[in-house]
Chains A and B, each alone.
Chain A
């Protein structure tokens, strides 16, 4: 993965820059010692690594603003990072860039039960919001599997999903207000303290959500809280063929049922989990669907019967529904352990993330099998079937030369196939560096250019998280755009609209 060439001039000024930043955040919160910078070399994807120029841990919006001002003045790049759990390399550092870590901004500022919103700082872990809301019978719905530690700021940057986003929506459906620091030095506040507060203006919240740290540093987020579902039950449905399972997914959604979660696991995943738990499963099972239904007890009972009927029609060989909370947790456990179970089976694995229209599920699974033979690498499937969000798990051995390249090429071909089938490159992990060079497969040059124009409007010097998302530099300066620098417009005497 090629990143922009580091600016040796900036690297030479590390010491002076550290001194400037220490004056803002305090001596101990700027890490310039190499030993202490190294653990920040990667986020949740270890294949991409770089030692940051400096690590800075500010504690407030004001400090972030001051840090950005120094970086802008010095022409130093900035990579924002929450807890470092991105699976697309969104927080991959730059050797000539400051890593801006937001973990110290971790206060829940306000819980507004009447308006059903919570105002939180960007470094608050996702799950903390639900924990704080639980006494009021509320919760924050988006639940990426990293939710125990991934920060809400990072969730906003990547527009994270999770099992429950099928029914409840992605992060973008739950943000009602944002505070962000722009490279211009402005602190902007979008939306406000209730749902709909941002309706009267251009949807800048929508723009910043999922912008992967390229447009602004989001410092405070007001999120929507929803009532905790009264109850939830999960169904476990086995199928003798992958096609039957795919058909069942289509049938459930097509019938107008919106499960709280609808997950797919293939035989390899089931075998791995079974060996981890020392349990056995029906050897005829080629694919398992987990379908969670939530709401009131009566509603769930009725839905379970409908789903059971659809599954039987699709040829399910075994159908179970949890009756108690313990049973529900036991059924979910296999899904939650899937990735670590695979991790135990192989040396390394690479999990990517793409989305297809649901009716193309059988086609993409066929294509994966074909690619696996071409590359000679094994793979497994465990994904959010309900919204067509795939997470193929490609197994390789990082110690074997060339294996990682093969795994990456395999993953890239799967993602290309997703796009070719009418899907998109990412479901919930973001583009980052991982899928950056595939962007040209999904977008025509003009589409990419328009996105870059937008980037330039926010960050004309291209200092915020450069080298991510776009396969080539934005070249903002070449636009000949006018932008205001230090309050001075270019050609101030020319009349404007």
Chain B
């Protein structure tokens, strides 16, 4: 699409890039077919093509965007189904990412909204604070019927079951490979995941060790920065990004080296693979960031490279594989998780309309509870229709959104792979 963004505005390299991306869009509308918010709302402003138009106008006019524009940009899940389906290769992820930064820099949100976003960006990236927040939430949960909107959504999200104790595996340390060491990797243990479901990292570490991989939980690494980045808050995101890059490069350039940075939460993986882009304009960090992005692998990519050991347990279960958006659209990983589950002896069942987001989308279910709720109901119905015995996914966000609703246990893909190759049966799958 032709745009008339002024040369002065394009002096900002992010706006210049936005102009190029907008220029690649031919307004064909194919993206609408895969956009969850369009499928719910049927309104152009809540579609990728509509948002591209809104951003074009935002940059052409310059200055602060209007409240309606912000509302529609906020409604984007960043699931990136549009980018995966786009015949013209429009890099929507970068466009919306910089669009959000532009909004954050120029638009004054109403105070309550601004405060909520600040709290979320802070809580989610710090496991100890998040744990305390959840404890407070459990106290508040009985009163949630009195509330509506994001606060109600936050209290609804507070798990009813007791939180697991912090796992010793999530502290900085090195786990030796079993048998001959084939590889040495850094594992992102994450932020939210270390609080909500410690079994995922534990299963990942067992699985990797069993396959001859040495694992480093690097000191100084932590949240990938995605919660803040999704809200356009690069000021809060970038220090986290740099801390991770520094921590992993210390290992990579240390005496033992690193073959990969491994991520078992696809939302985080998508973010880390984009570190190179996020810091491309920072001469001090651009090269280092690109290096980390290039060595980052989802656990399913790594396991496929290594080759899964033959299963030792005849599991024989029917698994509904839920492809997280950050996995299938953000990282375009579609084949590997299914192939691994099949190799481990499971019968893998696809979920109808599998391209659709479950509504979790990072902090989306807290900030946009109405649309998130609708998408969740659709996904739950689709999973129930499959007739599986267990559901699996590669992203903690989706698991939190869907577990407890689908009528079957919901686990991480690595937990099933770990079980099949000699690990314990995942909790919840007993009996």
Which residues of A does B touch, CB under 8 Å? Answer: 31, 33, 35-36, 38-46, 57, 83-85, 101, 103-104, 106, 123, 125, 127, 146, 148-150, 336-337, 339-340, 343-344, 347-348, 398-399
- Report if B27 contacts A (CB, 8 A): yes
Question: Which chain A positions have C-beta within 8 A of B1?
Answer: 46
A69: shortest Cβ distance to chain B, in Å? 23
A398 surroundings in chain B (CB, below 8 A): 2
Q: Can you identify 5 A-B contacts, CB atoms within 8 angstroms?
A: A40-B44, A84-B29, A146-B30, A148-B30, A344-B89
Question: In the docked arrangement, what's the CA distance between A40 and B42, Å?
Answer: 13
Nearest A residue to B26 via CB reads A343
B273 to chain A, nearest CB (A): 21
Q: Check A103 against B54 for contact (C-beta < 8 Å).
A: no
**A35 CB contacts on chain B under 8 angstroms:** 54, 57, 66, 68-69
Q: Residue A149 contacts which of B26, B33, B68, B88 (CB distance < 8 angstroms)?
A: B33
> Which residues of chain B from 220 to 238 have a CB within 8 Å of any chain A CB?
none
Stretch at the interface among B45-53, B123-131, B297-305, B384-392: B45-53
Question: Top 5 closest A-B pairs, CB basis?
Answer: A39-B53, A103-B42, A39-B50, A148-B33, A149-B33
Kindly provide the distance from the CB of B185 to the nearest chain A CB, expressed in whole angstroms: 30
Q: How far is the CA of A84 from the CA of B27 in the complex (A)?
A: 9
Name the interface residues of B12-42: CB closer than 8 Å to any CB of A. Answer: 23-24, 26-30, 32-34, 42
Q: Does B164 contact A (CB under 8 A)?
A: no
* Cα distance, A42 to B3, chains bound together (Å): 14
A46 and B57: CB pair below 8 A? no
- A83 contacts B32, C-beta separation under 8 Å: yes
The residue of chain A having its C-beta at the shortest distance from the C-beta of B85 within the complex is A148
- Inter-chain CA distance A45–B88, complex, in Å, is 15
Which residue of B32, B34, B44, B66 has the most chain A CB atoms within 10 A of its CB atom?
B44
The answer to whether B32 touches A399, judged by C-beta atoms less than 8 angstroms apart, is: no
Whether A84 and B68, one on each chain, are in contact in the complex, defined by CB atoms closer than 8 angstroms, is no
**Contact residue among B23, B26, B33, B54 (Cβ-Cβ distance under 8 Å from A39):** B54
Which of A43, A103, A146, A340 contacts B89 (CB under 8 A)? A340
Do the beta carbons of B24 and A146 come within 8 Å of each other? no
Q: Which B residues are in CB contact (< 8 Å) with A125?
A: 33
Contacts of A85 in B (CB 8 A): 28-29
Q: B64-106 vs A: 1/0 string, CB under 8 Å?
A: 0010110010000000000001011100000000000000000
B178 to chain A: which residues have CB within 8 Å?
none
Pair A103/B43 contact, Cβ less than 8 Å: yes
- Is there an interface contact between A127 and B28, defined as CB atoms closer than 8 Å? no
Given A42-B27, A57-B43, are A337 and B87 neighbors across the interface (CB < 8 Å)?
Answer: yes
- Which residues of A lie under 8 Å from residue B43 when comparing CB positions? 57, 101, 103
On whether the beta carbons of B2 and A348 are closer than 8 Å, the reply is yes
Contact A149 B54, beta carbon cutoff 8 Å: no
- Main secondary structure, interface of B, reads helix
B42 touches A57 (CB 8 A): yes
**Residue among B2, B27, B42, B57 making CB contact with A44, cutoff 8 Å:** B27
Provided the pairs A36-B68, A85-B29 are in contact, do residues A339 and B54 lie with their beta carbons within 8 angstroms? no
Cα A101 to Cα B45 in complex, Å, equals 12
Known: A57-B42, A340-B87. A38 touches B53 (CB 8 A): yes
Task: Give bound CA distance, A398 to B87, whole Å.
Answer: 20
Q: Which B residues between 344 and 386 are near A, CB-CB below 8 angstroms?
A: none
**Alpha-carbon distance A379/B49, docked complex (angstroms):** 27
Q: Least Cβ distance of A448 to chain B in Å?
A: 30
Q: Which residue of A lies closest to B66 (CB)?
A: A35
Whether B32 lies near A343 (C-beta < 8 A) is no
Where the two chains meet, the residues of B that have a C-beta atom closer than 8 Å to any C-beta of A are 1-2, 23-24, 26-30, 32-34, 42-45, 49-51, 53-54, 57, 66, 68-69, 72, 85, 87-89
Q: Could you say which residues of chain A place their CB within 8 Å of the CB of B85?
A: 148
Nearest-neighbour CB distance to chain A for B228, whole angstroms, equals 26
Q: Are A44 and B50 in contact (CB under 8 A)?
A: no
Question: Is B27 touching A146 in the complex (CB atoms < 8 A)?
Answer: no
Separation of A42 and B66 alpha carbons in the complex (Å): 21
Q: Determine the chain A residues whose CB is within 8 A of the CB of B23 once the complex forms.
A: 347
Residues of chain B lying within 8 A (CB to CB) of residue A33:
66, 68
The answer to whether A399 touches B50 (Cβ under 8 A) is: no
**A121 CB to nearest B CB, Å:** 11
Chain B residue at minimal CB-CB distance from A42 = B27
A84 touches B44 (CB 8 A): yes
- Cross-chain contact B24 with A36 (CB below 8 angstroms): no
Q: Assess whether A39 is in contact with B45, with CB atoms less than 8 Å apart.
A: yes
Complex CA gap A198/B2 in Å reads 46
Given contacts A83-B32, A148-B30, 19 further A-B contacts (CB under 8 A): A35-B69, A36-B68, A39-B51, A43-B27, A44-B27, A45-B27, A46-B27, A84-B29, A84-B44, A85-B29, A103-B42, A127-B33, A146-B29, A148-B34, A149-B32, A339-B87, A343-B26, A347-B23, A348-B2
The minimal Cβ–Cβ distance linking A48 to chain B, given in whole angstroms, is: 11
**CA separation between A347 and B51, bound complex, in Å?**
22
**Nearest Cβ in chain B — how far from A117, in angstroms?**
24
CA distance A403 to B54 in the complex (A): 26
Chain B residues with CB under 8 Å of A42's CB are 27
User: Residue on A with the closest CB to B52?
Assistant: A39
> Which residues in B have their C-beta under 8 angstroms from that of A127?
33
B2 touches A39 (CB 8 A): no
- Report how far A401 CA is from B206 CA in the complex, Å: 64
Complex: chain B residue closest to A47, CB-CB:
B2
Measured between C-beta atoms, what is the minimum distance from A329 to chain B in Å? 15
CB distance from A230 to the nearest CB of B (A): 24
- Distance (whole angstroms) from the CB of B347 to the closest CB of chain A: 20
List, in ascending order, chain B residues with CB within 8 A of A149's CB.
Answer: 29-30, 32-33
Question: Which A residues are in CB contact (< 8 Å) with B87?
Answer: 336-337, 339-340
A84 to B31, CA, bound (A): 12
Q: How far is the CA of A66 from the CA of B195 in the complex (A)?
A: 54
Q: What are the residues of chain B within 8 A of A43 when measuring CB–CB? A: 27
Bound-complex Cα distance A39 to B52 (A): 8
CB distance from A86 to the nearest CB of B (A): 10
How distant is the Cα of A343 from the Cα of B43 in the complex, in angstroms? 27
Docked pose: A44 CA to B31 CA in angstroms = 12
The distance in angstroms between the C-alpha atoms of A374 and B148, with both chains bound, is: 66
Give CA–CA (A418, B66) in the complex, Å: 48
Q: Which single residue of chain A is at the shortest CB-CB distance from B2?
A: A398
B66 near A399 with CB under 8 A, answer no
Complex alpha-carbon distance, A104 and B40, angstroms: 9
CB distance from B85 to the nearest CB of A (A): 8
Pair A123/B42 contact, Cβ less than 8 Å? yes
Q: What residues of A have a CB within 8 angstroms of the CB of B54 in the complex?
A: 35, 38-39
Question: Which residue of chain B lies nearest to A397 when distances are taken between CB atoms in the complex?
Answer: B2
Q: In the complex, A344→B90 CA distance in Å?
A: 11
Select from chain B the residue with minimum beta-carbon distance to A81.
Answer: B44
Task: Select which of A83, A340, A344 is within 8 A of B29 by beta carbon.
Answer: A83
